[in-house]
Structure formats: structure tokens, C-alpha cells
Amino acid sequence: MALPDTAVVFLAHQWGEAIGQRFLRLRRELGAFADCFVLLHDDQGPVRQQWTAFLQSRDLAGALVPFDDRKLPGDLGWGYFGRSHILANTHFPLMWFARGKPYAWYWQVESDVEYRGHWQAFMSAYRENPAPLLVTHIHRHGEWPTWTWWRSLTVPVEVELKDDALYKGFFPVFRISRPALDAVEGAHRRGWSGHFEVLIPTLLVRQGFTIQDLRATLPCYVGQSQNPCPILPIQATMRWRPPISRGEFMHRGNGPLLFHPVKENWSFDGGKVVQWEGPAPLEARD
């Protein structure tokens, strides 16, 4: 029996009106293209309560899928890399989710991502793209040898893994196929461990899967540097830091573009930027 086609998970660890509206727009614009869920880091407190009330008031209670980060290693059958829990193992919630909700394709969108365009137009552009992993900022080791997380990777003793076989990506928005996700699970069971940004692409390439940058199909972000760089005046629209300002979102580049990270209390409604009143987002921490 064929699997349902596509699930989109909106990975959140916080609550704010802008964040809730971001999910509603994602779900509204995708329509029948995909099933949409909030994959929520459960604080068992105010963050979950706010999300529950927000979604219930819109008859969307079934879209909320909370997870307990303390239980994920036991549920999955392998441990976290490092002490940062979800920050260094951001694929763990999706792997846990996928066990109970099988789909052919999974998109993961972090809650601090905004798209200056229409979400269905964006994702449908990749419908005919067979690449098992689509992600941003792919590099081989030789292209960025000083990147922080190369040496985090641990593999079984029988695996020989030289520097020229190492790949990394940047994952605030990514698509992965079910077979690729299963391959990552199998690798964890065999003893692979490390920061997810190097583990996933390196493992998949080693096993013969194709990985591809999202902008190979669509010019969906601009700029080259995902990290602060003293010799570049501005980083890519998809980056680790610094946060995206309203002004940059509204005026940088042309046409539909992805932006990350958005940390202020504003959202894009598909036509304009909306500033929301209220306190800074409530967060659930590792």
C-alpha cells in the first residue's frame, strides 16, 4: 500500500502570537498539498497550554503533536549527541513523529522561519525533484574545513570515513524521504552519532542517496554565509545569526525568499508584515 504523500511539521519550542500565525499561514497556503502538524517541544506548562488553546479555538486540536525531549532517547532506542538535546539532534523529534505517522515525504520547518512568498508554490516546486534530502548550505569538508561540527561525528569501528567523505547542511527548512529517514535510523542503531548537520548528509551520501541544495531548483534564499563573518557585510537570508529584522525581510533581494532566524514578534500574512503586541515568546528549554 502506498504511503500518504507529504507531511509538514512545524517544529516549535516556544509560543508567541506571531509564531502561531506563522503556522496558520503555512497550513492555509499548503491546503490539500500536505498534512500540517505542530511538532511541539512540550514544557508541560504555559507553552503547551497556549498552543492547545490557540489550536482548539480554531478546531485544529489534532494538529498539535507534543514530545517530551527527556523521553526521546528511550523511545527511539539511542542517545543524544552532546548535552544540547534537541539543538544538536534536531532530527530526533521528526524521527519519533514518523514512527507513528508514515508518509512518503517529510518537510520540517522551524518556527523562526518566514517565507516571503506562498508556501504551496515553494514546496510544489520540488514535487518532481527525487532528491531524498533537500536542505540549505551544503558544504564538503574541503570547502569549509574550520566548521565547528565536523569532528562531532562518531561512526562504528569498521567504518572508514575520511575528510573528503564528510558533508554538512543547514536545516531550518528541509525535506527528507521516508527511505532516507529509515537509513538515518539504521545508522543510529549501528552506532553512528554526532551533530545532525553533519551526520545526516554524510550518512546519506555514503549510502548512495542524493542530497541537494534547495536553491538548485528554486532561488529561494540569497547570500553565502550562514554564520557571522568579519569579512562579509551581511550573511545569507538563511543563517544561524544574526536575527532577521523586519526591514531586511521586507526589502532584501527580490521575490519569494526564505528567511531565518526571525526572533521578533512579527509575521508575514502572505501580503504584508504584521507586528503583534504582547511579550516576547514563551520558550521551552532543553
pLDDT band at 286 (very low <50, low <70, confident <90, very high): very low
Give the three-state DSSP class for 115.
strand
Q: According to the model, what pLDDT value does residue 277 have? A: 87
Q: According to the model, what pLDDT value does residue 229 have? A: 81
Q: What one-character-per-residue DSSP string does 122-188 give? A: HHHTTTT---SEEEEEEEEGGG-TT-TTGGG-B--TT----GGG-EEEEEEEEEEEHHHHHHHHHHH
Angle CA 118–17–120, to nearest 5: 15
| Percent over 90 (pLDDT), the chain | 93
Q: How far apart are the C-alpha atoms of 208 and 178, rounded to whole Å?
A: 15
pLDDT in tens, 214-237: 999 999 999 999 998 876 778 999
pLDDT band at 284 (very low <50, low <70, confident <90, very high): low
pLDDT in tens, 32-90: 999 999 999 999 999 999 999 999 999 999 999 999 999 999 999 999 999 999 999 99
Q: Which three cell numbers stand for residue 260?
A: 531565518
pLDDT band at 2 (very low <50, low <70, confident <90, very high): confident
Whether pTM > 0.95 for this model: the answer is yes
pLDDT surpassing 50 at residue 247? yes
Q: How far apart are the C-alpha atoms of 286 and 85, rounded to whole Å?
A: 6
Other CB atoms within 10 A of residue 213 CB? 17
Q: How far apart are the C-alpha atoms of 260 and 238, rounded to whole Å?
A: 5
pLDDT in tens, 159-180: 999 999 999 999 999 999 999 9
- Alpha carbon of residue 109 to chain centroid: 4
Quickly tell me which residue has 486540536 as its cell.
Answer: 61
From residue 230, how far is each of 13, 95, 225, 233, 252 by CA, in Å? 31, 37, 11, 7, 20
pLDDT in tens, 123-142: 999 999 999 999 999 999 99
Domains of the chain in sequence order: 6-277 (3.90.550.10)
E strands in the chain: 6-12, 14-15, 35-41, 64-67, 105-110, 114-115, 133-140, 167-177, 211-213, 258-259, 266-268, 273-275, 282-283
pLDDT surpassing 60 at residue 285? no
Q: In this structure, are residues 109 and 88 in contact, taking their beta carbons and an 8 Å threshold?
A: no
Provide the CB-side half-sphere exposure for 281 (13 A, CA): 23
Average pLDDT of span 110-129: 98
Q: Cα-atom radius of gyration of the chain, to the nearest Å?
A: 18
Strand partners, 266: 275
Q: Residue 73, exposed/middle/buried by CB under 10 A (0-12, 13-18, 19+)?
A: middle
